[in-house]
Amino acid sequence: MFFKQVIIQGLFGVAKGERLLLHDGLCEPLLPSPLDHAKFKDLITLILYPKDTLDSGMVSVDITVPYPVRLGALLDIGGFEYKLMWDMKADSLQVFNEQLSTTEPVVEGRQGTQDLWQKLLGLLPFGSFPLVHYHAFAITDENASKDETGKLVEEFRASLAVERIETRIGSRELELREIRTAKSPAMKVEAALDQVNQQLKTFEKMPALNDADRVFLANSEVQNKAQRKEFNELLELIDNIQRRRSAASPEPVFSNKLVQLSLVLSLACLIGAIYLSVADSPKYRSLALGTVLGLGAVCFAVTRHITLIERHDVLTARSKALEVQRKENEKATERATTRLKRLQKLFGGGSPEQIVEDVDRFETLKEKKTKLQAMLKTHLSDPIFIKSRQTIVDLEEEIARLKTERASFGDYVMPTYELRAELEKRGVAADNIMPTASSPETPLIDLSRRLKLLPDDRPNVAASEMQAINRLVPGIVGKREASLQLKENHFVVFDGESPERPLKDLPPRQQVLWLRAIALGVLLHHNKANSRRGDHISMLVLSDLWEGMQRADRIRLFSLLKEFSKEFQVILPKVGE
């Protein structure tokens, strides 16, 4: 598709009729005063989107002027010519097919015309079209060219849009609450099932617990207390036996004083009896009987010593047996502790009682879910339930979309009543101002930012866009081996002669060439991609293309644009004096 003619009168300050002759390929139309680049783009948008352009307030039409207000255009679409004729005072918009012999219009009205272009051209969304098909290369502060009243109007339009969006969000949320409150039996079952599913999410990775481990965990605390009590009692018993064993430990037999005295007594009696017998003193022979008493005492002491040894041996054996039992208890306690730690790690920590409780809760929820699913199957044919379920899904999707749209306007927007009062002070009729149209989709907003890059920006350029850019770089920069790369989120240029340098470090004249290559590469990439998706508007409107470029650079770029014009209608509008 390409434009062949545009006729304008009474719009954008053009009082008398003006005809712009265009053609396919590369064309440089001279814009009549006071038409400028921005107004020319609005004019093209008005032709393709007559309804959305006027409804959004992008273009305002004053039909009270004393001269006609008309717009005409001749478009070539696939070899067929379509002529648009629009008398805005009569609000008569008609489109004719120039190849047909009939004088009847193909379509009438704004909506019909826009629908026709959509059918023939596969138009992009209204807010997205300018980002892909228009581009101004001059780096200007857009807000600086607008007076204070214009800024207030734009703020008021945004505030109106936010107000309407928030009202719709509140209305949809109220409707959603009412539907969920007035539940049918089937919806109550589904709500209960949703609640169970939400609760089950906390047990998504709950492992299985066998019966043996369940019994172990259930009795773990009781067993621990019993083991601690038994262990303490065993320690006390071992300590008591050790004390008794130490007390029963016998001393050597000849170290016993009783044995020593008995032996001395026996020996003294024996020696005395022998001596007296030799001295012929028979009346003292009975003294030898003391030897018997001493030896008897020795036997008593020896017998007592043997008894103590036997008792000591018994206590030693008992002590060893108790020590073996203590070590076995310690091993059993260690095995139980290891098993408990393994289970706690498996179930993500918690006490044994908590683990058993969680497993029981999980099993209960699974059983409840199975019952609710069975109950829900009996209600699936309920028409009220089917309608309510779909309504809830639709409302949730709409609320999410509206919130996304609201977020596109930023966190804070000044209230309409404050802006309305300020506008009325300046004599502006606030009731005639339309709200800001919905913003274009996020990928194209990102595209818009990429096309307005400055040398020191941190760009976000896709690999496919970089390929398109590097196909243009040698022709625009004028060096065959020139290329552009992204390193550490900054553009780095290589001209085939000098070492790699950041784009921001180049002189201004060279920066202009590289920035032209970036913007044109991204534009051409998206236009070709959109063409493959069904967008048949093969047109690029480029403004301020030559600004900051020297003659040799312009010649190279002009030659390159002529190559582009074999695929696209490239329009380079010139502003008239």
Give the number of domains in the chain: 1
Residue 329 lies in a domain: yes
Residue 182 lies in a domain: no
Residue 334 lies in a domain: yes
Sign, CA torsion 137/139/142/146: negative
Give strand pairing partners of 73. 6, 84
Q: DSSP 3-state assignment of 366? A: helix
Sign, CA torsion 78/81/87/91: negative
Residue 407 lies in a domain: no
CA dihedral 384, 389, 394, 397 (to 10 degrees): 160
> Quick count: other Cβ atoms within 10 Å of Cβ 78?
8
Q: Is 73 exposed, middle or buried (0-12, 13-18, 19+ CB in 10 A)?
A: buried
Residue type, 111: Q
Nearest-angstrom CA–CA distance, 140 and 547: 12
Q: DSSP 3-state assignment of 92? A: strand
Nearest-angstrom CA–CA distance, 115 and 109: 10
Q: What is the DSSP code string of 320-338?
A: HHHHHHHHHHHHHHHHHHH
Residue located via tokens 């006729």: 7
Tokens at residue 503, please? Answer: 């784009």
Q: What is the DSSP letter of 284?
A: G
Nearest-angstrom CA–CA distance, 223 and 477: 84
Residue 265 lies in a domain: yes
Domain around 289: 232-346
Residue 378 lies in a domain: no
Residue 316 lies in a domain: yes
Q: What is the pLDDT along the chain (577 residues), one digit of tens a residue?
A: 889 999 999 888 888 889 999 988 899 999 988 888 888 988 999 999 998 888 877 787 888 888 889 999 999 888 888 899 999 888 899 998 877 766 788 899 889 999 888 888 888 777 778 777 888 776 444 443 345 666 777 788 788 888 888 888 988 888 888 777 766 666 677 777 888 887 777 766 666 666 777 677 766 766 767 777 777 777 777 777 777 766 656 666 556 666 667 767 777 766 766 666 665 555 555 655 666 666 676 677 677 777 777 777 776 777 777 777 777 877 877 777 777 777 767 676 767 777 777 777 777 888 888 888 777 776 666 666 667 777 888 888 889 888 888 887 777 778 887 888 887 777 666 665 656 554 433 333 344 444 544 444 445 667 777 888 889 889 888 888 899 888 877 788 888 888 888 888 888 778 888 888 888 888 888 778 777 666 567 788 988 888 878 888 889 999 998 988 888 889 999 886 5
Give CA separation, 373 vs 187, 194, 239, 272, 363, in Å. 12, 10, 65, 115, 15
Q: DSSP 3-state assignment of 574? A: strand
Cis omega before residue 34 (within 30°)? yes
Residue 270 lies in a domain: yes
| Contacts of 160 by beta carbon, 8 Å cutoff, 6+ apart | 416, 433, 434, 435, 436
Nearest-angstrom CA–CA distance, 256 and 262: 10
Q: Looking at 200-332, which runs of residues are DSSP E strands?
A: none
Give strand pairing partners of 493. 484, 501
Nearest-angstrom CA–CA distance, 422 and 427: 9
